[in-house]
Amino acid sequence: MPHSTVCLSFDFDALSVWFGYPHTTPSMLSRGEYGARVGVPRVLDLLREYDLPATFFIPGHTIESFPAEVEAILAAGHEVAHHSYAHVDPSQQSPAEERADLERGLAALARLGVTPAGFRSPSADMSAVTLTLLEEYGFTYDSSLMADDFRPYRPRIGDQVSQQSPLARGRDAALWEIPLCFEFDDWVHFQFNFNPYRNGTSAPSKVLEIWTADLAWMDERVDGGVLTVAMHPQVIGRAHRIAMLATFIQRALALPGLRFACLSDIARELAAG
């Protein structure tokens, strides 16, 4: 594996993410539509400008609501991966509901000819059965968990732990975890909301400082490190933020031996040993 890798990922949630709030309004949905109307074209333009690959995690709900934008992502050669059907937090679903949602998302992807290698959970959380389901449906990687930063790992299935009982480790999953963290999620930094209140109005300079500091640390100290950035077209698409992403890309490209890759490339290389 090269010395350092950056994986740019985009969760194209569009409208679906806003139905996860207690009270969904036309204004909230318009913020989701911005991701399709403005965010995706702007992201695709930037990726084309620097000739970079990326991974788009797309809910089935978005595929069926904004098919032209999804076709444009595929036509540009980017990876498309699974992000649920309806963007419901799996920890809030029964096992049967979670399976049905996963299958509906797979069906939407299949109609585009996509068999996804990877999955990212909506809300970056899981139920007790999520990893088992992903194994059953043949996913080779997940990108939702946070037990490491620059090194993909095997997530465990069947851990037993409580406040009163220390960790009893389960078995390693068959798939790889390409980990996330909230510091590398644009939504956390930037997405304002009234109710529930999120400040979300970071200056891009603050986020660029955090992202480039981790990038430099990884590049200096972690051989073969993988840094995954999780973004949303409806968030990163705003002009001051897409300009920040361009600056981050330029800083990364200035590091000798660094490459950009899709998450499925990382999973494939790990599986090959």
Within residues 116-135, the interface with Zn ion by CB under 5 A covers 122
Of 117 and 252, the one with the shorter C-beta distance to Zn ion is: 117
Is position 11 an interface residue for Zn ion (rule: CB under 5 A)? Answer: yes
Is position 13 an interface residue for Zn ion (rule: CB under 5 A)? Answer: yes
The distance of closest approach from Cβ of residue 17 to Zn ion in the complex, given in angstroms and rounded to an integer, is 5
Whose CB is nearest to Zn ion? 11
Of 39 and 122, the one with the shorter C-beta distance to Zn ion is: 122
Is position 98 an interface residue for Zn ion (rule: CB under 5 A)? Answer: no
- The residue range among 6-14, 94-102, 175-183, 201-209 that interacts with Zn ion, by the rule CB under 5 A, is 6-14
Of 218 and 229, the one with the shorter C-beta distance to Zn ion is: 229
Would you call the peptide bond into 155 cis, given omega within 30 degrees of 0 as the criterion?
A: no
Separation of CA 48 from chain center:
20
The distance of closest approach from Cβ of residue 141 to Zn ion in the complex, given in angstroms and rounded to an integer, is 17
222 in Cβ contact with 151 (< 8 Å): yes
Is position 101 an interface residue for Zn ion (rule: CB under 5 A)? Answer: no
The distance of closest approach from Cβ of residue 11 to Zn ion in the complex, given in angstroms and rounded to an integer, is 4
Of 157 and 230, the one with the shorter C-beta distance to Zn ion is: 230
Please state, in angstroms and rounded to a whole number, the distance separating the CA atoms of residues 237 and 239: 6
Is position 142 an interface residue for Zn ion (rule: CB under 5 A)? Answer: no
# residues near Zn ion by CB under 5 A: 3
The distance of closest approach from Cβ of residue 179 to Zn ion in the complex, given in angstroms and rounded to an integer, is 16
Residues near 55 by beta carbon (within 8 Å), at least 6 away in sequence: 7, 8, 9, 10, 78, 79, 80, 81, 118, 262, 263, 264
Of 122 and 155, the one with the shorter C-beta distance to Zn ion is: 122
Of 238 and 259, the one with the shorter C-beta distance to Zn ion is: 238
- The residue range among 7-15, 44-52, 144-152, 184-192 that interacts with Zn ion, by the rule CB under 5 A, is 7-15
The distance of closest approach from Cβ of residue 228 to Zn ion in the complex, given in angstroms and rounded to an integer, is 14
The distance of closest approach from Cβ of residue 172 to Zn ion in the complex, given in angstroms and rounded to an integer, is 26
Of 11 and 69, the one with the shorter C-beta distance to Zn ion is: 11
The distance of closest approach from Cβ of residue 262 to Zn ion in the complex, given in angstroms and rounded to an integer, is 18
Q: Which residues bind Zn ion (CB under 5 A)?
A: 11, 13, 122
